[in-house]
Amino acid sequence: MAELLIRPRREVTRGPLMGDPGALGRFGEYGGRYVPESLIGACREVEDAFREAWADPGFRGQLDRLLTTYAGRPTPLTPALNLSTELGSTLLLKREDLAHTGSHKINNVLGQALLARRMGRTRLIAETGAGQHGVATATAAALLGLRATVFMGAHDIERQGLNVFRMRMLGAEVVPVHTGARTLKDATSEAMRHWVGATEEAHYCMGSVLGPAPYPWMVREFQRVIGDEARRQCAAELRAAVPDYVVACVGGGSNAAGTFAGFVDTPARLVGVEADGGASASRGRLGVLHGVRSMFLQDDDGQVAEAHSIAAGLDYPGIGPEHAHLRDLGRARYVTVTDDEAVAAATRLARTEGIIPALESAHALAWVLRGGIPAGSTVLVTLSGRGDKDLGAL
């Protein structure tokens, strides 16, 4: 896909925040559908099918039932009592680590797999970095009787043997990508290229709030369940009903978008936490990659740069277009955390609460632990996943 620099252009956005971005799929000056001619029709078909399905109580009921009986929803809201005492604030954890396959990714994938079947598709195509989205895709495909083809950088395949083994055990085909740095960015380019020749039989199952319209909107809607549940759970837990801070880590931004969607219409301060080496919201520039106009890490020639983080899920050099828009509006702020801070936060949560979080999720917690939050605050942190996969990296 094209990697190029584009000058900012101001556009008016109507409607409520985190609503339907409309047929152009725009979030302020971000979003859109920058794909080859041959994929425009396929993206439109996905959009039409999603619009119809999302308005259909039958589809919503089917998805809710899978989320409940299969994926383990609703996930608990855990008051972190020991850590709260140490911090002098009230810390609540939204436990996506307890969802099936160990992260929030299953929410999105079950939605897209059901949609694919509704569209008469027989196969899912996905990209994966560390393998978490690949495993979730392989899982949903197995459950719903679809084939799965997962593109993964050859370098990531070497680093993430266990997830490759899991995907193959679940019956997915894992395709090694040998181009570029042989990581997530290259796997995504290759997967989209492959989709061009297979749009009749296959649905592209994007793993975050990225890619051409309707993906950023659709993936956010499938992840909205995190924020909607947390909103109800906070109302039962907190005297003020809504926390002062709502904090989530941001790779592409799907767990954060799903969490924020439940609180965007409240006074809660929304904070997205990026890895220091993947800080696209903080240090990125406007560009187009993988079909979407957003903020990307780039060199002086506009070539997309590599992201680096100890948390493989934060290793993507861009953020979803809606996050870029929320940042511009000042509705959410985006901060960064170093590898060392994330590791320290993961260890502290393990020792105080008996929960080993994914290193991605530990970024969100690390920002809270830094101490910038006034004492007495109420803070919701989304724990996007569990840490078993990271134990080898510590």
Ligand X SMILES: *Cc1c(COP(=O)(O)O)cnc(C)c1O
As given in the structure block, the two tokens for residue 16 are: 């409520």
The residue of the chain with the least Cβ separation from ligand X equals 385
Q: What 8-state DSSP symbol labels residue 388? A: G
277 lies in the site for ligand X, by CB under 6 A: no
Is residue 38 flagged as an active site residue? Answer: no
Q: Diameter of the chain by CA atoms? A: 57
Q: Smallest distance, Å, CB 375 to ligand X?
A: 28
Whether 99 and 386 have beta carbons less than 8 Å apart is answered as: no
Q: Provide the residue type at 370 as one letter.
A: R
Question: If binding means CB under 6 A, how many residues of this protein chain bind ligand X?
Answer: 18
**Residue 3 Cβ, how far from ligand X at the closest point, in Å?**
20
Which is catalytic among the residues 94, 105, 185, 389? 105
Active site residue 127: yes
Our finding on whether 385 is near ligand X (CB under 6 A) is yes
Scanning residues 245 to 274, which ones bind ligand X (CB under 6 A)?
A: 249-256
Minimum distance of ligand X from residue 270's CB (angstroms): 14
Task: Give the closest residue to 104 by CA, choosing from 215, 256, 211, 246.
Answer: 256
- Is 384 noted as a catalytic residue in this protein? yes
Separation between Cα atoms, residue 275 and residue 363, nearest integer Å: 7
Please choose, out of 21-29, 63-71, 167-175, 358-366, the segment that lies near ligand X by the rule CB under 6 A. Answer: 358-366
What is the footprint of ligand X within residues 160-189 (CB under 6 A)?
none
Interaction of residue 278 with ligand X, rule CB under 6 A:
no
Q: What residues numbered 309-338 form the site for ligand X, per CB under 6 A? A: 313
Length of the chain: 394
Q: Which of 90, 139, 149, 208: binder of ligand X (CB under 6 A)?
A: 208
Please report how close the Cβ of residue 358 comes to ligand X at its closest, in angstroms: 4
Part of the chain binding ligand X (CB under 6 A), chosen from 81-89, 156-164, 275-283, 354-362: 354-362
Alpha-helical (H) ranges within the chain are: 37-54, 57-69, 81-87, 105-118, 132-144, 154-159, 161-169, 184-196, 215-237, 254-261, 280-283, 321-329, 339-353, 359-369
Tell me the closest approach of the beta carbon of residue 314 to ligand X, in angstroms.
Answer: 6
Residue 214 to residue 121: CA distance in whole angstroms: 17
Question: What element of type H or E holds 147?
Answer: strand 147-153
| x/- letters, 96..115, toward ligand X (CB under 6 A) | -------x-x----------
To 10 degrees, the CA torsion angle through 153, 156, 160, 163? -20
Active site residues: 105, 127, 384
Residues in contact with ligand X by CB under 6 A are 103, 105, 132, 208, 249-256, 313, 358, 360-361, 384-385
